């Protein structure tokens, strides 16, 4: 698994845990930063994970609006917490991280959904991120 894939998984963990604990994401990020300081071997994945979470925090209103707009018949509150985390990261990478090709962002999100969520989640994540990327002109 690449360092960026590990970082995405770490970012999912941070966003997910904050969501289910109803904790401010900044607090969850701070707690993870303290853990990361004691694990220098994981520094490569930590740096990008922090970038992702910071980016999601900064653009969360826009990200959630995109998800709500293109998730026909689904509200963010109705989605499983892990799917919300995966989608927020995918949308951030598509719309705000020029270093990650759109196809890579979508593929990584789909793979995360296959591993971490329900059987239906991978298709849902793929379709939703595809619509958002197409609307943004990223495809």
User: Mean pLDDT score of the chain, rounded to an integer?
Assistant: 92
Q: Which burial class, exposed, middle or buried, applies to 52 when counting CB atoms under 10 A from its CB (0-12, 13-18, 19+)?
A: buried
Query: Taking 80 as the threshold, does the pLDDT of residue 115 lie above it?
Result: yes
More confident call, 2 vs 122: 122
Give the architecture-level CATH label for domain 3-136: Orthogonal Bundle (1.10)
pLDDT at 36: 76
**Total residues belonging to the chain:** 139
User: What's the pLDDT tens digit per position in 35-93?
Assistant: 877 777 767 678 899 999 999 999 999 999 999 999 988 899 999 999 999 999 999 99
pLDDT at 139: 66
pLDDT at 117: 96
Q: Residue ranges of the domains in the chain?
A: 3-136
DSSP state of 75: -
pLDDT at 137: 86
- Cα dihedral: 100, 90, 134, 67 (round 10): -160
Q: Is the Cα dihedral 19, 22, 26, 30 positive or negative?
A: negative
pLDDT at 92: 98
Among 127, 92, 97, 93, which residue's Cα sits nearest to residue 110?
Answer: 127
């Amino acid at each position: 698994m690449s360092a960026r894939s590990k970082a995405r998984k770490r970012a999912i963990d941070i966003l997910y845990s904050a969501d289910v604990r109803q904790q401010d994401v900044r607090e969850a990020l701070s707690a993870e930063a303290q853990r990361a300081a004691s694990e220098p071997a994981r520094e490569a994945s930590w740096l990008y994970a922090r970038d992702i979470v910071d980016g999601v925090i900064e653009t969360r209103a826009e990200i959630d609006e995109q998800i709500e707009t293109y998730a026909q018949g689904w509200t963010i509150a109705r989605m499983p917490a892990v799917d919300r985390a995966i989608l927020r990261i995918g949308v951030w990478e598509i719309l705000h991280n020029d270093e990650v090709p759109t196809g890579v962002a979508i593929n990584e999100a789909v793979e995360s959904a296959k591993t971490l969520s329900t059987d239906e989640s991978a298709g849902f994540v793929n379709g939703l991120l595809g619509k958002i990327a197409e609307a943004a002109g990223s495809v």
